[in-house]
A and B are shown apart, each in its own frame.
Chain A
Amino acid sequence: QVQLKESGPGLVQPSQTLSLTCTVSGFSLTSNSVHWVRQPPGKGLEWVGAIWSGGSTDYNSALKSRLSISRDTSKSQVFLKMNSLQTEDTAIYFCTQITTGYWGQGVMVTVSS
Chain B
Amino acid sequence: DVVLTQTPVSLSVTLGDQASISCRSSQSLEYSDGYTYLEWYLQKPGQSPQLLIYEVSNRFSGVPDRFIGSGSGTDFTLKISRVEPEDLGVYYCFQATHDPYTFGAGTKLELK
Measured CB to CB, the residues of A under 8 A from B are: 35, 37, 44-47, 49-50, 58-61, 94, 96, 98-101, 103-106
Contacts and interface: CB of A to CB of B under 8 A. Distances in A.
Contacts of B101: 35, 47, 50, 58, 98
B98 to A, nearest CB: 11
Contacts, number: 53
A50 to B, nearest CB: 7
Contacts of A46: 103
Interface residues of B, number: 24
Contact of B1 (A45, A61, A99, A101): A61
Given A61-B1, A99-B54, A101-B61, A45 B92 contact: yes
B43 interface: yes
B52 to A, nearest CB: 9
A50 B100 CA distance: 9
Contact of B43 (A45, A50, A96): A45
